[in-house]
Amino acid sequence: MANSTGSTDPIIIIGAGMAGLACANWLHRAGRPVLVLEATDAVGGRVRTDVTPDGFRLDRGFQILLTNYPEARRMFDYGALNLKSFRSGAVVRMTDGHETTLENPLHAPIMAFAALASPIGTAKDKLLLAKLVAQLAGCTPAQLLARPSVATIDYLHRYGWSEQIITNFFKPFFGGVYLDRELGTASNFFEFVFQQFAQGAAAVPALGMQQLPEQLAARLPAEAIRLSMPVMAVSEGGRRVHLASGETLAAAAVVLATDGPAAARLLGADLPAPASPAARPTTCTYFATAGAAPSHGHNILHLNARPGALVHNVAFPAETGASVAPLGQGLVSVSTHGEHGLPEDALTARLRAELIAWFGPVANMWRHLRTYRIEQALPVYGPGQPAQQELQLGDTLFRCGDWVSYPSLNAALGTGRQVADMLLVH
Ligand SMILES: Cc1cc2nc3c(=O)[nH]c(=O)nc-3n(C[C@H](O)[C@H](O)[C@H](O)COP(=O)(O)OP(=O)(O)OC[C@H]3O[C@@H](n4cnc5c(N)ncnc54)[C@H](O)[C@@H]3O)c2cc1C
C-alpha cells in the first residue's frame, strides 16, 4: 500500500539510538513501514550495557533515567523496565575533605539543608533553593526549555547563591549531569534538569540502561531493524540510501538519527551546521567489591567537591537493587569528566589513591573491571543555543537526536517523536 508520500518504500531511519528508535516506534504505531539501519552490532547508541564473563552489567558510562522526563513517560513501560531508583540526595565530599549527606535537596530543600549544621551553604542559600523549586513547579518543561539562557554559573550568581554552595553542591551535582564542571552549559537546561530532579526519581532499569532501547526495539517487527549496516551516503534529497555493503535502498523519506559528526559525514554541505559541533568527553571506571556493597554506600550518589580531583562522582549501582553485580559482590562506578590525558593504568592508579583517601583502605581491595572512555558523550549546549534546531532539511529529509536539541535522553526521544509527527502529516 502506498503511504502518504505516494511511495511504497519504507521511511529509512539511520541510527538505532534513542532518537531513531523513538521515531521508528511512533511511525510504526501509526502503521507506516520503517527500516532502521544501525552501523554497530546492537541498538542503543550511547545507551549500551556490556555483560562481563563473570556477570557484571556495565553501562557504557554512568547514566540515569529521570523518571519524570515527559518523553520517557510517553514512550516507556516503566513497570516492564523494573526501574530501580537511587535515594534522592547525595553524599558530598566538600572542599575541606569532610562529608555531608543531603537528603532530598531538590525535593525538600529546607528540610535537607536546615536540619544540618552543615557548612554546605548559608541560610540564604537554603531559602533560595526552596524559592527556585517553587518557581519552577509552576512551569512546564517546554516553557523552561524555551526561556532565554545565560551560562549556568552566571545564572547561579545572579540568583544570589554563595560561592560556598556553588562549589560544594552545584558544581559537583550539575557538573556531573552536564559533564561540565565549570557550569558553562545553558541555564534553560539547568532549570529543566533542576525541575526534573525535584519532581521525579533518578533510576536505572534492573538489567542496565540498554533495557531502554531494547524495549523500544522489541516493539518493532524484527525485519525493521538491520544491525551492522553502516550507511555511507544519502542522495536524491532522501530518496536513496547507500550502504557500506554496496547496496542502495529506495526510501519514502530519510531520517538522520545519527550523532552530529556522522550526520555531517553523510550529508556534507547539504546539512546546516549544528549550533555547536563540539562534544564533552567522560571516563567511567568500574571496580568490583568483594561482599555485597560497601557499608558507606546506602544507595546514594557520592559527589566530590575537592578541587583538582579526578574522581568526580561515585555510584554503587547494585545498591539500588539493580541486578548489575553477581551475587555477593558489589559494583563501583567512578566518573571522571573532561580531558585527563592519562592512559588507563595511570588513571586507575590515581583514582584508586583518591578512593582510598575518601572511602578508606577497603578501596585498595576493589578489583578494577573496565574503563570506558567516551569522547563524544554529550553535545555542548551553550548559552543562547536554541532548545531545538530545524528538524526538516528537505521534503523527504529529516534529522533528530540530542545534538539538534539539548544533551539529554528526553531530547533524543522528543526530537524522534516530532520528526515522526511531521512525517505523519507529510
Ligand atoms: C556517559 C554518558 C552519560 C549520560 N548520562 C545521561 C543521563 O544521565 N541522563 C540523560 O538524560 N542523558 C544522558 N546522556 C545522554 C544520552 O545518552 C543521549 O542524549 C542519547 O542517548 C542520545 O541519543 P541519540 O539517538 O540522539 O544519539 P546516539 O545515541 O549517538 O545514536 C546515534 C546512532 O547512530 C548510529 N550511527 C552513526 N552513524 C551511522 C551510520 N553512518 N550508519 C548507521 N548508523 C549510524 C550510531 O551507531 C548510534 O547507534 C549520557 C550520555 C553518555 C554517553
Check whether 193 has a pLDDT greater than 60. Answer: yes
- In this structure, of 66-70, 122-126, 179-183, 318-322, the range with the lowest mean pLDDT score is 122-126
**49-85+203-209+279-379 placed in CATH 3.90.660.20:** yes
- CA 102 to centroid of ligand 1, rounded, Å: 31
For the stretch 109-112, contacts whose Cβ atoms lie closer than 8 Å and that sit 24 or more positions apart, written own/partner, are 109/133
The pLDDT of 241-248, averaged and rounded, is 97
C-alpha separations of 212 from 16, 45, 75, 203, 226 in Å: 12, 11, 10, 12, 18
Which of 59, 63, 333, 334 has the most ligand 1 atoms within 8 A of CB, as the residue to mutate?
Answer: 63
Which residue has its alpha carbon closest to ligand 1 atom 49? 45
Q: Which atom of ligand 1 is nearest to the CA of 22?
A: 25
- Residue 50 pairs in a beta bridge with 58
C-alpha separations of 107 from 9, 80, 160 in Å: 49, 26, 20
Residue tagged 560544594 (cell numbers): 168
Which of 76, 189, 259 has the most ligand 1 atoms within 8 A of CB, as the residue to mutate?
Answer: 259
Of 345, 393, 299, 373, nearest to 88 by C-alpha is 299
Pair 13, 35: CB distance under 8 Å? yes
pLDDT at 2: 45
Q: What percent of the chain has pLDDT over 90?
A: 78
| Rounded Cα–Cα distance for residues 344 and 285 (Å) | 9
- In this structure, of 2-16, 128-142, 217-231, the range with the lowest mean pLDDT score is 2-16
Pair 273, 390: CB distance under 8 Å? no
Q: pLDDT tens digits, residue range 76-134?
A: 999 999 999 998 888 899 988 888 888 777 766 655 665 555 678 888 888 898 899 88
Check whether 297 has a pLDDT greater than 60. Answer: no
Q: Determine if ligand 1 sits within 6 Å of the CB of residue 257.
A: yes
| Rounded Cα–Cα distance for residues 422 and 391 (Å) | 9
- Per-position DSSP letters for 354-377, written without gaps between them: HHHHHH-GGGGGPEEEEEEEEEEE
- In this structure, of 26-40, 105-119, 195-209, the range with the lowest mean pLDDT score is 105-119
CA atoms within 13 A on the CB side of 313: 31
pLDDT at 166: 95
Residue tagged 557548612 (cell numbers): 119
Q: pLDDT tens digits, residue range 269-294?
A: 766 766 666 899 999 999 999 975 55
The pLDDT of 63-67, averaged and rounded, is 97
User: How high is the mean pLDDT of the chain?
Assistant: 92
Pair 179, 46: CB distance under 8 Å? no
Check whether 208 has a pLDDT greater than 70. Answer: yes
Which of 46, 196, 209, 417 has the most ligand 1 atoms within 8 A of CB, as the residue to mutate?
Answer: 46
Q: pLDDT tens digits, residue range 393-420?
A: 999 999 999 999 999 999 999 999 999 9
Q: Determine if ligand 1 sits within 6 Å of the CB of residue 374.
A: yes
- Per-position DSSP letters for 258-302, written without gaps between them: S-HHHHHHHHGGGSPPPS---EEEEEEEEEEEESSS-TT-TT-EE
Check whether 296 has a pLDDT greater than 50. Answer: yes
Helices (H), 82-199: 109-114, 123-137, 141-145, 152-159, 163-165, 171-178, 187-199
Helix, strand, coil % over all residues of the chain, rounded to 5? 35, 25, 40
Q: Which atom of ligand 1 is nearest to the CA of 18?
A: 25
Check whether 4 has a pLDDT greater than 50. Answer: no
Provide the residue type at 47 as one letter.
V
Check whether 230 has a pLDDT greater than 60. Answer: yes
Sequence-distant (6+) residues with CB within 8 A of 269 are: none
pLDDT at 117: 58
DSSP assignment, residue 388? S
pLDDT at 291: 76
The answer to whether the 11-47+210-276+389-424 and 49-85+203-209+279-379 domains have the same CATH topology is no
pLDDT at 243: 97
- C-alpha angle 378-140-123 in degrees, rounded to nearest 5: 80
* Domain 11-47+210-276+389-424 class in CATH: alpha beta
Retrieve residue 248's grid coordinates. Answer: 542502495
Q: pLDDT tens digits, residue range 327-379?
A: 999 999 999 998 889 999 999 999 999 999 999 999 999 999 999 999 999 99
Retrieve residue 175's grid coordinates. Answer: 557538573
CA trace torsion 312, 59, 319, 102 (10° rounding):
30
- Residue boundaries of the structural domains of the chain: 11-47+210-276+389-424, 49-85+203-209+279-379, 108-198
